[in-house]
Amino acid sequence: MLKIKSARVITTSPGRNFITLKIETEDGTFGLGDATLNGRELAVASYLQDHIIPCLIGRDAHQIEDIWQYLYKGAYWRRGPVTMSAIAAVDMALWDIKAKVAGLPLYQLLGGACREGNLVYAHANGESIEETLSEAKKYIALGYRAVRLQCGVPGLSSTYGVSKDKARYEPADADLPTENTWSTEKYLRIVPQLFAAAREELGWDIHLLHDAHHRMTPIEAARLAKDLEPYRLFWLEDAVPAENQANFRLIRQHSTTPLAVGEVFNSIWDCKQLIEEQLIDYIRATVVHAGGITHLRRIANLAALYNVRTGCHGATDLSPVTMAAALHFGLSIPNFGIQEYMHHTDETNAVFPHGYSFSDGYLHPGNSPGLGVDIDEDMAKEFPYKRAFLPVNRLEDGGMHDW
């Protein structure tokens, strides 16, 4: 029995907001869990503070599965991003503690390494096709083997994934939601041109990815997937909103472009049909928003039965704690596909010192016991929470659209 002595929520904003749970056990070991839900951070902080932490004190930190079930079934109100991010933070912290007590990097406890490193993809974006490709070349020169390409849409003042700061894309950019404008017709004209030019200039040895950010209808997505077929994408992400999982059937009927979805999913029930009917190729659910390692492992195990591989979300709103957890997890499962990798700010890296490292297109979680991530609490205090919302998206006639 390893009793949980204390748990507390740490809120910090070193360039962007992060919510972190720190659990300490009576032997002095501590574990960290990420609970960041972009644009809705304080809801999860309160869920942890007010509704979870009081129930954790005195429990056996080693009983990870039992605590997971206690928090999930015990809440009665199941699933949802707030609940599942809070449970995820507890789960990550407990796995961190268990691995530290065992004196092992977490991937060893999860079954050991299945590969030498986790293939990652970088984000290249630009206002024009030329600028996007020149950004992609910079990543290729750094050793990346996979790059996501997003470019501006002529006629629209801003486009998802295209930022002024080329190294970092930070969508939660304002105190109240920024309003963007969207036209699927214009978008559908430019994207095939981007990938045609990319294959001309970058060749065929680099994996290319694209994120459509849930903006199309199934028939529009089918057309884009078909138009992109000659360029052999690694994946087309979030082609359509996925609340209706059957949406993906229509795309599948028309195209062999591999499909990825799931960064907004928070439970296995969000992707059960997608996986069982083999409507997707990559599942993007990740540790923080999908109930932690304990639940993500269930999703990955189901996916493995149907040849669906993982492609965990890894934008900058997922803290280094989640990145570390995802890397240990990815290394240990047979059906790992790829890991998204966006660089955090220097301030974030200083607040969360970590042992994972990039080499030759792959990230490795490192070999220190546990997750291999710490938090500098004094420095964290220097960066107070700053309200920041994700944007909203309107069609040219003013109607609300998916962001």
Least separation in angstroms between residue 160's CB and ligand KDG is 7
> Among candidates 120, 134, 142, which has minimal Cα distance to 202?
134
For 75-113, letters b (16+ CB in 10 Å) and e give: beeebebbbbbbbbbbbbbbbbbbbbbeebbbbbbbeeb
How many residues line the site for ligand KDG (CB under 6 A)? 10
236 forms beta bridges with 210, 259
Listed in order, strand segments (DSSP E) in 152-265 are 179-182, 207-211, 235-237, 259-261
Among 213, 295, 328, 344, which one carries the catalytic annotation?
213
Least separation in angstroms between residue 317's CB and ligand KDG is 4
**In the complex with ligand KDG, which residue's Cβ is closer, 67 or 172?**
172
Least separation in angstroms between residue 263's CB and ligand KDG is 6
Pick the binder of ligand KDG from 96, 263, 270, 281 (CB under 6 A). Answer: 263
Among 160, 187, 282, 362, which one carries the catalytic annotation?
160
Q: Which does 171 bind (CB under 5 to 8 A by kind): ligand KDG, Mg ion, none?
A: ligand KDG
Catalytic annotation present for 62: no
Catalytic annotation present for 160: yes
Would you say how long the chain is, in residues?
A: 403
To the nearest 10°, the Cα dihedral for 169, 172, 175, 181? 90
Q: Which does 392 bind (CB under 5 to 8 A by kind): Mg ion, ligand KDG, none?
A: none
Cα angle vertex 7, ends 4, 9, to 5°?
A: 160
Q: Which residue stretch of 34-42, 91-99, 130-138, 255-263 sits at the interface with Mg ion (rule: CB under 5 A)?
A: 255-263
239 in Cβ contact with 261 (< 8 Å): yes
The interface with ligand KDG within residues 112-141 (CB under 6 A) comprises: none
113 in Cβ contact with 367 (< 8 Å): no
Q: Which does 315 bind (CB under 5 to 8 A by kind): ligand KDG, Mg ion, none?
A: ligand KDG
Burial of 200: CB neighbours in 10 Å, binned 0-12, 13-18, 19+: exposed
Binding mask 137-176 for ligand KDG (x = CB under 6 A): ----------------------------------x-----
Pick the binder of ligand KDG from 211, 220, 227, 281 (CB under 6 A). Answer: 211
Least separation in angstroms between residue 315's CB and ligand KDG is 3
151 in Cβ contact with 128 (< 8 Å): yes
Pick the binder of ligand KDG from 13, 17, 29, 38 (CB under 6 A). Answer: 38
393 forms beta bridges with 180, 401
Least separation in angstroms between residue 213's CB and ligand KDG is 6
DSSP 86-136: HHHHHHHHHHHHHHHHHTSBHHHHTT--SSSSEEEEEEEEESSHHHHHHHH
150 in Cβ contact with 211 (< 8 Å): yes
The interface with Mg ion within residues 208-227 (CB under 5 A) comprises: 211
Least separation in angstroms between residue 25's CB and Mg ion is 36
The interface with ligand KDG within residues 276-315 (CB under 6 A) comprises: 313, 315
How many residues line the site for Mg ion (CB under 5 A)? 2
Which sign, positive or negative, has the C-alpha torsion 64, 94, 317, 365?
Answer: negative
Burial of 205: CB neighbours in 10 Å, binned 0-12, 13-18, 19+: exposed
**In the complex with ligand KDG, which residue's Cβ is closer, 304 or 315?**
315
Least separation in angstroms between residue 94's CB and ligand KDG is 25
> Judged by CB under 6 A, does residue 317 bind ligand KDG?
yes
β-sheet with 400-401: strand ranges across? 179-182, 392-395, 400-401
Q: Which residues bind ligand KDG (CB under 6 A)?
A: 38, 171, 211, 213, 263, 313, 315, 317, 340, 390
Q: Which residues bind Mg ion (CB under 5 A)?
A: 211, 263
Q: Which residues are catalytic?
A: 160, 213
